[in-house]
Amino acid sequence: MPAGAGAGTPLPETRKHDAEIERLFGAAGPLSPAVGVYRPRQSQMEMAKAIAHAIDGQKTLIAEAGTGTGKTFAYLVPALLWGGKTIVSTGTKNLQDQLFLRDIPAVRAALQAPVSVALLKGRANYVCHYHLERTLQNGRLTSRDDIGHLREISRFIKMTRSGDKAELSKVPENALIWNLVTSTRDTCLGAECQYYQDCFVMKARKEAQQADVVVVNHHLFFADVALKDNGVAELLPSANTIIFDEAHQLPDTATLFFGNTVSTSHVLELCRDVLAEGLVHARDGADWAKVVTVVEKAARDLRLTFPQDIVRLSLPQIAPSSGFFPALETLKDELEGMISVLETQAERAETLEQCRTRAVELGGQIQAWQREPKANVTPGQEAVFWVEAFAASLHLHQTPLSIAPIFNSQREGVPRSWIFTSATLAVKNDFKHFASQMGLSDEPARSWPSPFDYEKQGLLYVPHNLPQPNAPGFTDAVIDCALPMIEAAGGRTFLLCTTIRAVNRAAERLRDEFSKRNLPYPLLVQGERGRTELLERFRAAGNAVLIGSQSFWEGVDVRGDALSLVIIDKLPFAPPDDPVLAARIEVMEKQGLNGFMHRSLPEAIINLKQGAGRLIRDEGDRGVLMICDPRLISKPYGKRIWQSLPPFKRTRAAEEVIAFFKDEHPLAS
């Protein structure tokens, strides 16, 4: 689907909002004082008009907007003025908070739009009165940190209106204590709970029902829609407009939630709760320790059928000699035994009934796993069955081969507008890859270029004489090439790697080299601190080098001089052992398509565009994008890749890069 497909000349009835948009986005319009430094951008104005037309006609629009277009305001203005009940879904909780706390209030104030706005997150983000009370009574805490965190949460629940853990900065978001003081869909008592009237989840959902604009994130949207939970699933019938920001993430997120995953950790958590509730409410009803011990052993034995720490295998790849299938049958049998006991005791307490329901659900998910699981699959909803082993757990995944038919069924029914927007949806102005994944093949798609002058502001550098990415010592060769560039840039570098192993090796080398050469650049490494803290330190230092993998390729905004060099070690192709990708490529090739050209390459290009997008974030930014993968030059598909990147000036000469950094003349804006 080419850029501009379906763009056409707007019909007379859809032009009614165009003049208003031109006024609002003009130099003298109300948006200017709302955002401080503001310049009218033609691409932003045209995008806002296209979205207004889609809202008017209850149509779908795929909208790619280059970095700096101002896509957030381009969709918020028409949505707040004419969108009716609107759901805005973002890629992450951080972006969700930014929209709710900063962007929407600014636009709403500028437009003087009388719209109500609500923020809705998943259950795990809200403190649960019942589970907090239970944890305070049980005292099952394993560390001093937990005790201090629990004290902070107890204070917080008395003062907060929302119960959103993001408001409590004193307790880290990843602290284990949160698991003990929040609910899940399985552990929520619902209307039976004594705290139901005060429940933060219920309050958030009620506010969302009544609000004109509801801000969610993709994980919540698809989790709720797939599970028919009571959050987004209840909002959808009344929504007139659905906007997905960072829409390039949707295929992966939807795949995650339209699939099915059950893990040995889920079984062990259930056993822990069955033992606790059995001893409290039905101590005389069974030998609870014996009931759960056999199930726990079966779950652990299943994990041990794979001796390695990390394993990803599709069902046909699992060796019969592994013992996996007999161990799986044993787990099914022992779980059935526990369900039988729970059925005799469940009426003695609501929490025991809840354990029984969870056990039945888990049992059903595990039953789907057979040597020939395709017998259970509905035509058109084929799935890949695959296992993933971690150090302490085994995950059994059932992943749909395509989410397009499932997502299309979600879009049927009530007419409404669907807006999909991101800076990276097209491959060389072609939207086919994204559109086909989401089942949007016949929908209009448009692209608006970035206002940045990439040719003056940036340089794309591909070094000479680097080995192939699969060669031993490749990461060391990357560091050898990168060091002179890091010195020329004065630090101010992101080194983006495609694997954690490369992150660790690069960190080891750079620590050693910085020490030997007495270089003063702070070295920040993913995993050594949380992402937010690393970014704050990077911005504050002004000359730091940050090494990261996938989580730093997107959603990271560092403007100004602090970031002037982005180094990417390899083209981000999905790992060849990915069972889902392998199955999808096999299906494509049976249809006569080239799996690499139609699947692997477009995904790598979209991912690379995200990484490259970290460099130039403002009209005054300048910098170098260094890609260390020789395939960009040597392979026939390399041209397609660099033609999809921003139109930087290109070079292979190290001295040109060094000269670029020496040139301190300010760029003309």
Q: Identify the CA nearest to 58 among candidates 315, 254, 239, 252.
A: 239
Confidence check: pLDDT of 669 > 50: no
Confidence check: pLDDT of 458 > 70: yes
**Alpha carbon distance, N-terminus to C-terminus of the chain:** 33
Greatest Cα-to-Cα distance within the chain, rounded to the nearest angstrom: 82
Residue 229 CB neighbour total at 10 angstroms: 17
Q: How confident is the model at residue 140 (pLDDT cuts 50, 70, 90)?
A: low
Confidence check: pLDDT of 374 > 60: no
* Average predicted confidence (pLDDT) for the chain: 89
Cβ partners under 8 Å of residue 423, min gap 6: 64, 65, 66, 67, 69, 71, 609, 610, 613
Residue scoring higher pLDDT (564 or 556): 564
pLDDT average, residue stretch 436-465: 94
pLDDT at 226: 73
pLDDT at 14: 53
pLDDT average, residue stretch 191-210: 92
Place of tokens 């049992």: 363
Q: Cα 189 vs. chain centroid, distance in angstroms?
A: 29
Confidence check: pLDDT of 47 > 70: yes
Confidence check: pLDDT of 262 > 70: yes
Q: What is the dihedral of CA 58, 59, 64, 69, to 10 degrees?
A: -30
Alpha helices in 350-469 (DSSP H): 350-367, 404-411, 432-438, 454-457
Separation CA 39–CA 26 (nearest Å): 8
How large a percentage of the chain has pLDDT more than 90? Answer: 66
CB-side exposure of 23: number of CA atoms within 13 Å?
Answer: 7
Q: What is the pLDDT of residues 594-606, one digit of tens each?
A: 999 999 999 999 9
Q: What is the pLDDT of residues 112-124, one digit of tens each?
A: 999 999 999 988 8
What single-letter amino acid sits at 509? R
pLDDT average, residue stretch 317-332: 92
Q: How confident is the model at residue 368 (pLDDT cuts 50, 70, 90)?
A: confident
Q: What tokens appear for 593 in the block?
A: 């398509």
Q: Identify the CA nearest to 373 among candidates 394, 398, 395.
A: 398
pLDDT at 532: 81
285 burial (CB, 10 Å; 0-12 / 13-18 / 19+) is middle
Q: Specify the range with the lowest mean pLDDT, choosing from 137-141, 322-326, 423-427.
A: 137-141
Contact present, 495 and 611 (Cβ < 8 Å): no
Q: Angle 264-281/324-345 helices, nearest 10 degrees?
A: 20
CA angle 85, 87, 91 (to 5 degrees): 170
Helices (H) and strands (E) in the chain, counts: 29, 18
CB-side exposure of 27: number of CA atoms within 13 Å?
Answer: 0
Separation CA 39–CA 477 (nearest Å): 44
Q: Identify the CA nearest to 122 among candidates 57, 218, 206.
A: 218
pLDDT average, residue stretch 56-61: 95
Confidence check: pLDDT of 474 > 90: yes
pLDDT at 378: 47
pLDDT at 44: 94
Q: What is the pLDDT of residues 290-299, one digit of tens each?
A: 999 999 999 9
Confidence check: pLDDT of 375 > 50: no
pLDDT at 132: 93
Q: Specify the range with the lowest mean pLDDT, choosing from 228-232, 266-270, 383-387, 418-422.
A: 228-232
pLDDT at 526: 92
Q: What's the sign of the alpha-carbon dihedral 241, 246, 252, 253?
A: negative
How far, in Å, are 154, 226, 245, 613 from residue 409 at the CA level? 43, 11, 21, 33
Q: What is the pLDDT of residues 576-585, one digit of tens each?
A: 778 988 888 8
What single-letter amino acid sits at 559? R
The strand pair at 213-217 and 241-244 is best described as unpaired
DSSP letters for 55-73: HHTT-EEEEEE-TTS-HHH
Q: What is the pTM of this model?
A: 0.87
pLDDT at 529: 82
CB-side exposure of 517: number of CA atoms within 13 Å?
Answer: 13
How large a percentage of the chain has pLDDT more than 70? Answer: 93
pLDDT at 36: 65
How far, in Å, are 123, 270, 302, 361, 533 from residue 358 at the CA level? 17, 8, 20, 5, 37
pLDDT at 9: 43
pLDDT at 175: 84
Question: Rg of the chain's alpha carbons, rounded to an integer?
Answer: 27
Q: How confident is the model at residue 306 (pLDDT cuts 50, 70, 90)?
A: very high
Confidence check: pLDDT of 496 > 50: yes
pLDDT at 4: 45
pLDDT average, residue stretch 476-504: 96
Residue 275: DSSP 8-state = H
pLDDT average, residue stretch 51-69: 95
Three state DSSP letters for 616-648: CCCCCCCEEEEECCCHHHHCCCHHHHHHHCCCC
Question: DSSP 3-state assignment of 411?
Answer: helix
Confidence check: pLDDT of 464 > 50: yes
pLDDT at 37: 67
pLDDT average, residue stretch 332-345: 95
pLDDT average, residue stretch 463-474: 94
pLDDT at 126: 95
Separation CA 175–CA 35 (nearest Å): 36
pLDDT at 228: 62
Separation CA 535–CA 303 (nearest Å): 37
pLDDT average, residue stretch 469-490: 96
